[in-house]
Amino acid sequence: MSRQKRPKSVQKLGHIPCKFTVMAGGAIIGGLVAASRPSRPHPRTLALACIGWGAVILLTGIAPNLWTACIALVFVGYGSITFNSTAKTTLQLASRPELRGRVMALWAMAWGGGSVIGAPLVGWAAEEFGSRWGLMIGGAPHDPSRPHHAALPPPSRPHPPAGPDPGLITAPTPCKRTPCPSPDSTPSRP
């Protein structure tokens, strides 16, 4: 296999498969860390994940060589999964149970719908000015100069009412049976 020459279409890829592999490794680590969180995410966690993810994307854009970019891409993958899982968890826990599906549908539309406008612009910038500019434009919305988001207070939620959750399905309680009236004891109608 090493003696065969690679096709030109594969040669054009260069180091891209290596970069995707490194980023996927970071995403796996991010997924494991996000899944091991025992409690509800704090808004500060969401803000820091957003800022950190954007900062690492910007650092990847200005990386001086391939090895530095690969190291930064591990954290890009980690930040991607951390931000997405934290944001989705926050949205689902903050919305009412009967509206969670609708809220997540809006999230999916906003997340995917932004690509319709953003992807062609970033693609054009990357083609005109270089791939580094595509990464830097992609990391810019996560502007790390807005740390005031990290100081958000915890969400205030009303305490749940005492007793069972009204949305919880429970087994029916046995009803008290009364003996059937005998035919002789039926009340007569006036």
What HEC string does 100-169 produce? HHHHHHHHHHHHHHHHHHHHHHHHHHHHHHCHHHHHHHHHHHHCCCCHHHHHCCCCCCCCCCCCCCCCCC
Quote the pLDDT of residue 176: 55
- Residue 78 confidence (pLDDT): 92
Residues of the chain with pLDDT under 70: 1-16, 142-190
Q: What's residue 136's pLDDT?
A: 85
Task: Give the global pTM.
Answer: 0.64
What pLDDT is recorded for position 19? 76
Cα 154 to Cα 41, 43, 105, 149, distances in angstroms: 9, 7, 25, 12
Residue listed under structure tokens 């260069």: 14
For residues 116 and 128, what is the distance between their CA atoms, to the nearest angstrom? 19
Tokens 């809220």 identify what position? 103
pLDDT the model gives residue 1: 33
Per the CB < 8 A criterion, the answer to whether 79 and 56 are in contact is yes
